[in-house]
Amino acid sequence: MDNATEVFQPLEADDPPLVAGYRLAARIGAGGMGRVYLSHTPGGRPVAIKVVRPELADAPAFMHRFRREIKAAQRVRGAYTAELIDADADGVPPWLATLYVPGPSLTEAVERRGPLPVAAVLWLMAGVAEALQAIHSKGIVHRDLKPSNVLLAADGPRVIDFGISLASGVTSHTETGATIGTPAYMAPEQASAGELTSATDIFALGQTVAFAALGEPLYGEGPSVSVLYRIVHSEPDLSRLPVQLRPLVARCLAADPEDRPTPEEVVEWCRRQLGPDADAGAGPAVWREVTGPELIVPGPVPEPTPVPTLPLVPWPLPAEPAVRRRSGRRRTTLVTAVAVTAGALLLTGLTWTVMDAVDRLRDRAASASGTPGPKASSSVSEGGGRTEGKVRSSVTPTPSATPSKAPQAVAYPWQMLSEKNSLSIKEPVERKNRNGDIRFVCGQTCSLESRTSVMSMHMGKPGATLDACRTDLDITPSHRLTLTLVAAGSEICVKHPSGDIALFVVQVKSTALPDSGVSFLAGDLTVWRAP
């Protein structure tokens, strides 16, 4: 973890490009509660964006904890904590942003280089104790202090993740009797679901410091039940610790919370052990030895070039003489459209021939120019099949003398489709039930289905226009669209029986486990309302 390529991973297909206006630059990590991304403030300062997993966003107990994390982080300010910048527990998905700390966690640092030298452990202990001072001064108990929640910046440690913190004096029984925390770093009273106080964090501090000095948990590894039994019923073996550290670690790990030192006492004891170095500013040099070369953080992601969502040329195209001047251009457009059509036909598995598409596009071009084209022999029925002897077209054969009113584009950002809800082209767009026009269905594979509207995946250049969607929907309409080839950035055109046409731009696709019940599709919806 000594270079940026190991720390910052490129965004994957199911990662959103931005969260609540924060444009994401890289993926930092992922865990049980969600994913963490690198982004930047408008002024360019790096921030870490924590995004909650969709299935957890629907879990009341977890969201209660997440809101508590936000409130705790808003209250805590200190030199050794990561400051909260922004958050929204009611967002879709919920998220929070803290200042990014450019450095490995204590767990990662020990895995990379082994146990830390005594001087580094003393600086670590003093810094984490000072962070606990700031936390406890707000009446908050962290409850999950451990090596992975301690980041090693170039100027000292940072304590992060207040996800299960609570106000002092409240027992863990408030969580319906559940014991919350990481077993290897719990205090005896926490392991036995007793009363939690600031002394609980001091016990975890002693265990964290022991891990830094030994390179492994003080109470050993194995099943959680075995580790907790040793914490509650046995004395820790401190003989493996460096002699300088044993007295204070022993006090931190006292079975009786009353016998443990306060954070202020820990800081003072560490300063005495460090001697003159404590006042000589030797800490940064020690941390550089532990953290390695300074991490180069990627810069902000530039804003994408805006893509117009409405056509710049009115439809249909003007008649003579402009059509003659553009005839060569129309032929080029026709060839390009045929190539796009051929790719769409292969992907969707329809049995149309490319010549069908050519005939349709020729009819449209002829209709726009006022020159009759060859009569088509078949077209698409409402169910997506072929119907002999009739032609359906959304193009008016003869332009009206009075220009028709242009359809109005209405944006509905960040719409999520799961197996519990649906979307409608007509307002209200979001439906909490399955009665909307478009439903998300997952079995062996996942797909979008509709009994009323037809859909088509846009295979051309990104930024489909109204006319592009009209063409797609005339050529490859279907009431069912499989999501096998859909990814972040894919564009899906939809046509409602009312004449409204919509464009759904996929931002996040989560269908890796179709039978899990937690698959979903999220994106931005634009609807062109028929006049």
Positions marked active-site:
144
Distance CA 297, CA 516 (A): 36
CA dist., res. 353 & res. 135, Å (int) = 69
Backbone angles phi, psi at 268, to 5 degrees: -65, -40
> Cα(318)–Cα(324) distance, rounded to whole angstroms?
10
Within a 13 Å sphere around the CA of 499, how many CA atoms are in the beta-carbon half?
9
Longest dimension (CA), the chain: 96
Residue 335: how many other CB atoms lie within 10 Å:
11
CA atoms of 240 and 500, how far apart (whole Å):
73
The CA angle 197-198-199, to the nearest 5 degrees, is 85
Query: How many whole angstroms separate alpha carbon 90 and alpha carbon 268?
Result: 42
DSSP helix/strand/coil, 466? helix
3-state helix vs strand vs coil in the chain, percent to 5: 35, 20, 45
Rounded Cα gap, residues 304 and 300, in angstroms: 12
User: What DSSP string runs through 194-237?
Assistant: ----HHHHHHHHHHHHHHHHHSS-TT--S-HHHHHHHHHHS---
Handedness of CA 238, 242, 248, 249 (dihedral sign): negative
Q: Report H helices in 1-81.
A: 4-7, 54-57, 60-75
Beta strands in 62-109 (DSSP E): 84-88, 95-99
